[in-house]
């Protein structure tokens, strides 16, 4: 038993060290250190059977609580252990706790009755209990006093928009730069035969005619994935958010099913800045705290991004009040509240990988305000349908994209996309851009008929809108008949605030 205890001690210490890169390290480091301390105590014959049995029960209960329940949990296999989704993360956590429980059972069977745990052991167990309590997410969503509820019927004040770039393969993050330049990430085609189709482009309007028709590739060969086989919707992931702050420009590769890579852009040079667990779909710079933050839509997390050291969890967003997966998609640091504004897309009650692809509910999404110090959250905008990106205008108004009006035509496979025009899970050309007055609660539509809009970029009063989520070239229902799906960028000029210039 002494040899087994020595081996277990080394393995549990190693497991604790590995957890330092976890988005939420404290609870897991402490959990494995407790297991390591019991192994060390067992090596010296200082573990009692009742203590080991009690710890076995605690670990087993925690493992059961963490393990994804229902059909999602039953469908997960060890072959998926490396996938970066919420269910897989929870399964790994549960497996680790289960191993700890099994070790305690072994010790209980070999330990005597007369030895008590050490004081250090008791302190570790107490720390484990406190970290469990601290990690438990809120089960309700408090509502801010200034919450804005978007009505089912919204007044339209449509402003003109101009097409500034076309023929892009799933454009996502954008960053306006000087001299008429626009940095754009493209997620790629999602084609399984060519997974490295994602890229970072530098578009430029050299002749000043408003069209960004000069293109340079700064980074190519980036992973691109269509998750139609998981969600039954034509949905492509790859290169994603771009943001600037603190002397840095960062862009994320949010490859679904694997860790995200965060790149730093220096002029036209692109280098890796960090590797982060989960699907970091968007990121932003918190100027008050001199910190980079991001959202993982696959693990429902808001995290602090760290150069070369992964991330640290701020909050694991709980399910929405009606049981839907919250799916945090985009975030912005809010200068008005000094907190983070996060859009919740609202997913299926069957989990991210469950259901038929059409369970998402109209009006179930919204925007929450998150305190990056405490992880506290509260609703600030409710009643949104599938909100994607948001921006805070120079006058304090919120501008938020709604991806589509409803969900239809789910697909059973990739071949179905080419049998004829299909919405492919999302109602095409039904997206819109809302302007929200936080003081008065007034909501207006300033752009409609958008096709799968995903990202916004603000440059003064110019607002860029990236559109065209899905498989390039496939036939889709357009406003005036069948069209080929393509990615493009429109630009609008923000309307003046009521009573303004």
Q: What local confidence, expressed as pLDDT, does residue 107 receive?
A: 80
Residues 397 and 477 in one domain: yes
Domain contains 142: no
Strand order in the sheet with 328-334: 143-149, 377-384, 365-370, 339-344, 328-334
Give the model confidence (pLDDT) of 175-229 as tens digits. Answer: 999 889 999 999 999 998 888 999 999 999 998 899 999 999 999 999 999 988 8
Neighbours of 134 (CB within 10 A): 11
Question: For 31-98, what is the HEC assignment?
Answer: HHHHHHHHHHHHHCCCCEHHHHHHHHHHHHHHHHHHCCCHHHHHHCCHHHCCCCCHHHHHHHHHHHHH
Mean pLDDT of 390-409: 94
Quote the domain boundaries for residue 416: 148-493
Is residue 43 predicted with pLDDT exceeding 70?
yes
Structural domains in the chain (count): 2
Q: What local confidence, expressed as pLDDT, does residue 74 receive?
A: 38
Residues 218 and 313 in one domain: yes
Both tokens assigned to 289: 């705290």
CATH number of the domain that residue 160 is part of:
2.120.10.30
Domain contains 116: yes
Task: For strands 198-204 and 214-222, give the pairing.
Answer: antiparallel
Residues 100 and 159 in one domain: no
Q: What local confidence, expressed as pLDDT, does residue 75 receive?
A: 37
Q: Which residue has the higher pLDDT, 83 or 427?
A: 427
Q: What local confidence, expressed as pLDDT, does residue 90 receive?
A: 65
Domain contains 275: yes
pTM exceeds cut of 0.85: no
Domain contains 499: no
């Amino acid at each position: 038993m002494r040899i087994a205890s020595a081996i277990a001690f080394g393995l549990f210490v190693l497991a604790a060290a590995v957890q330092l890169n976890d988005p939420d390290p404290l609870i897991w480091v402490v959990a494995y250190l407790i297991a390591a301390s019991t192994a060390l105590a067992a090596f010296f014959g200082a573990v009692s059977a009742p203590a080991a049995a009690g710890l076995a029960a605690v670990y087993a209960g925690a493992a059961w609580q963490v393990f994804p329940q229902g059909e999602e949990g039953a469908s997960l296999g060890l072959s998926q252990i490396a996938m970066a989704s919420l269910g897989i993360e929870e399964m790994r956590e549960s497996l680790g706790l289960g191993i700890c429980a099994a070790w305690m059972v072994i010790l209980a069977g070999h330990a005597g009755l007369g030895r008590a745990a050490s004081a250090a052991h008791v302190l570790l167990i107490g720390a484990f209990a406190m970290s469990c309590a601290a990690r438990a997410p809120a089960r309700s969503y408090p509502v801010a006093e200034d919450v804005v509820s978007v009505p089912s019927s919204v007044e339209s004040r449509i402003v003109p928009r101009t097409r500034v770039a076309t023929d892009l393969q799933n454009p996502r993050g954008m960053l306006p730069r000087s001299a008429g330049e626009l940095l754009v990430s493209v997620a790629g085609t999602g084609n399984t035969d060519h997974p490295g189709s994602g890229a970072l482009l530098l578009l430029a309007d050299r002749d000043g005619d408003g069209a960004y028709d000069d293109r340079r590739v700064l980074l190519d060969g980036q992973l691109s994935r269509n998750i139609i086989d998981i969600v039954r919707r034509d949905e492509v992931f790859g290169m994603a958010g771009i943001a600037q702050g603190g002397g840095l420009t960062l862009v994320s590769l949010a490859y679904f099913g694997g860790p995200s890579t965060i790149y730093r852009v220096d002029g036209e040079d692109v280098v890796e800045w960090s590797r982060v667990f989960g699907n970091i779909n968007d990121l932003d710079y918190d100027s008050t705290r001199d910190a980079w933050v991001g959202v993982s839509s696959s693990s429902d997390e808001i995290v602090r991004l760290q150069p070369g050291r992964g991330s640290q969890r701020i909050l694991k967003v709980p399910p929405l009040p009606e049981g839907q997966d919250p799916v945090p998609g985009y975030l912005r640091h809010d200068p008005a509240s000094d907190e983070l504004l996060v859009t919740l897309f609202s997913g299926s009650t069957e989990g991210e990988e469950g259901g038929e692809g059409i369970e998402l509910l109209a009006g179930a999404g919204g925007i929450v305000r998150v305190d990056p110090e405490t992880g506290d959250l509260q609703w600030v905008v409710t009643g949104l349908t599938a909100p994607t990106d948001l921006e805070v205008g120079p006058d304090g108004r919120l501008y938020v994209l709604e991806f589509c009006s409803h969900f239809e035509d789910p697909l059973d496979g990739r071949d179905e996309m080419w049998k004829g025009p299909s919405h492919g899970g999302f109602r095409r050309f039904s997206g819109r851009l809302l302007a929200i007055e936080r003081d008065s609660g007034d909501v207006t539509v300033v752009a409609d008929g958008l096709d799968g809009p995903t990202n916004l970029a603000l440059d003064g009063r110019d607002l860029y809108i990236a559109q065209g989520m899905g498989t390039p070239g496939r036939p889709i229902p357009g406003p005036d008949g069948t069209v080929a799906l393509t990615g493009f960028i429109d630009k609008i000029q923000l309307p003046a605030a009521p009573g303004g210039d």
